[in-house]
Structures are given as structure tokens and as C-alpha cells.
């Protein structure tokens, strides 16, 4: 059996594939847990851009597998299922490199929350997008009322989450849920073209710009401020003097 979350890195591109087509690529706990280490591997690789997609043509991701959470206690549901999902999706949204999502099938519930983590969303023509959770008696718990609102706007999220509106690809494009629509089967090729454009740009400037956009959006303001300030401090001569003084057990001579 293949891994349900596959990562392949080569030629500057990291491909992350949700691969559970018999369950419409619905996420279970094992798959959620695999996303954070995959993101860590992408961060530590030479990849300049990442592409996220689902296996097959039926579904990008049908959200959280009902069998994986429906029998959990309320405490376990909130403490583990929701929080672990947030940790995984936060890791995706906060990747240093741009993330492109190829919506190659239906994108529902947690699948939309997964797609919301991306910087660019490419939808194939047959997809359907929506948030059906309240029809099941549950809420959109993986930032479907938070990041989704920041990315798509509150009124659009209201239509999907409160009134059950489901959108086709062209409607989603007009509403800003996706950035591009292509024919069925052409999503990966379109993502490769977009990735090639990213790789022509400065990797460092792209990373810094993404961090600043995330901070402006409220995605990770605290980490961005400290990361940028830390990088400035680490590049200074005073850091080297401070480290030398520590190792030589003498007072540091800053500015001398």
C-alpha cells in the first residue's frame, strides 16, 4: 500500500499528495499527523515552491473522515482532532515557500480548509466546493471559520457554512475561492507552470514577502516579527562578538 500522505521533492518543487482515493482522500488521524513532518522536510529541503493535490479525479479532499472522529469523546475531539488538525494546517499555511493547491476533485469541509492554506488555488473544471459541516451537526473546525474568513471573506463563508451553498469551479473563480480554472486533468500541468514562474524569482525575497503578507493577514504576526528581527540580529557583527566573548569567558566589547 502506498503512503496516504506522499512527499516527493525534486528540481526545486515539493509535491505533497493526499492519497486515499477509496475514501475520497478524506483525512484520518494518521494522515493529519503526517502533514507536520512533511512540512518540516519541505522547509529543510532545497524546494522553492510546493504543490498540494489529491490522488485521482473524484476528490481533492473530502475533509475529515467521519469514521475517524465520530466516535471520539467530546474531550478527545476538541483536544486532539481539532487541535492536531490546526497544527497540521498551520504548518502548511506557514510554509516558507509558496504553496499551490491543485483542486483536482471535490473540495468539501476540511478539504476547503486544506485548500485555504495555499497561496494559489487551481481548480479543475469538475470540482465542487463547499462547507457541509453544519448539516452533520458539527462546525468547520480546522480554521474554516477563521483562516477561511481571512482568505475568502466572511460573507462567502456564511453562504457556505450557514446556508449550505456549494459552488462549481467557474462560480468559485468569480467569487475568489480559486485563482484559476483549467480543464479536468490539467491541474498538475498548470501548477507546474505556476511553480516555474515562482522559481524564476528571488527565493529569499519571495520567502520574506510571503511572511509579510501572512503577518498583514494575521496568519502569524508574532513569529514573523521575531523571525525577521532574529535574522537581522544574527547577521550582525555584534552576535559574533557576543559568541566569542562567551566562549573566551570575557566581557563582550560591543561597538568597540
Q: What is the pLDDT of residues 48-93, one digit of tens each?
A: 999 999 999 899 999 888 887 777 787 877 778 888 999 999 999 9
Task: Identify whether 256 is part of a domain.
Answer: no
Task: Identify whether 19 is part of a domain.
Answer: yes
| pLDDT value of residue 256 | 62
Record the pTM: 0.90
Q: Which residues of the chain have pLDDT under 70?
A: 1-2, 256
Residues designated as active site: 113, 133
Domain final residue, candidates 175, 199, 223: 199
Place of cell 480554472: 181
CB neighbours of 152 closer than 8 A, spacing ≥ 6? 116, 175, 176, 177
The CATH number assigned to the domain holding 56 equals: 3.90.226.10
Within this chain, do residues 36 and 127 fall inside the same structural domain, yes or no? Answer: yes
Within this chain, do residues 242 and 129 fall inside the same structural domain, yes or no? Answer: no
**Structural domain count, the chain:** 2
Distance CA 57, CA 177 (A): 19
Domain final residue, candidates 181, 199, 217: 199
Within this chain, do residues 147 and 96 fall inside the same structural domain, yes or no? Answer: yes
Within this chain, do residues 115 and 240 fall inside the same structural domain, yes or no? Answer: no
Grid cell, residue 197, equals 514562474
Host domain of residue 135: 5-199
Grid cell, residue 35, equals 502533514
Amino acid at each position: 500500500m502506498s503512503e496516504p500522505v506522499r512527499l516527493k521533492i525534486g528540481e526545486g518543487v515539493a509535491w505533497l499528495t493526499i492519497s486515499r482515493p477509496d475514501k475520497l482522500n478524506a483525512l484520518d488521524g494518521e494522515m493529519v499527523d503526517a502533514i507536520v513532518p512533511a512540512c518540516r522536510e519541505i522547509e529543510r529541503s532545497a524546494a522553492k515552491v510546493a504543490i498540494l493535490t489529491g490522488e485521482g479525479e473524484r476528490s481533492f479532499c473530502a475533509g475529515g473522515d467521519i469514521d475517524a472522529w465520530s466516535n471520539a469523546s467530546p474531550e478527545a475531539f476538541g483536544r486532539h482532532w481539532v487541535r492536531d488538525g490546526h497544527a497540521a494546517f498551520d504548518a502548511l499555511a506557514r510554509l516558507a515557500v509558496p504553496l499551490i493547491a491543485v483542486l483536482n476533485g471535490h473540495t468539501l469541509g476540511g478539504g476547503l480548509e486544506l485548500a485555504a492554506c495555499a497561496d494559489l488555488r487551481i481548480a479543475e473544471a469538475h470540482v465542487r466546493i463547499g462547507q457541509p459541516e453544519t448539516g452533520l451537526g458539527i462546525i468547520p473546525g480546522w480554521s474554516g471559520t477563521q483562516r477561511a474568513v481571512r482568505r475568502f471573506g466572511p460573507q462567502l463563508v456564511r453562504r457556505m457554512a450557514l446556508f449550505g451553498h456549494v459552488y462549481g469551479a467557474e462560480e468559485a473563480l468569480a467569487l475568489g475561492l480559486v485563482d484559476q480554472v483549467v480543464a479536468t486533468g490539467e491541474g498538475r500541468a498548470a501548477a507546474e507552470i505556476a511553480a516555474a514562474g515562482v522559481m524564476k524569482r528571488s527565493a529569499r525575497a519571495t520567502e520574506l514577502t510571503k511572511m509579510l503578507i501572512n503577518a498583514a493577514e494575521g496568519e502569524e504576526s508574532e513569529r514573523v516579527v521575531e523571525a525577521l528581527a532574529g535574522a537581522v540580529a544574527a547577521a550582525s557583527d555584534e552576535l559574533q562578538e557576543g559568541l566569542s566573548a562567551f566562549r573566551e569567558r570575557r566581557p563582550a566589547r560591543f561597538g568597540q
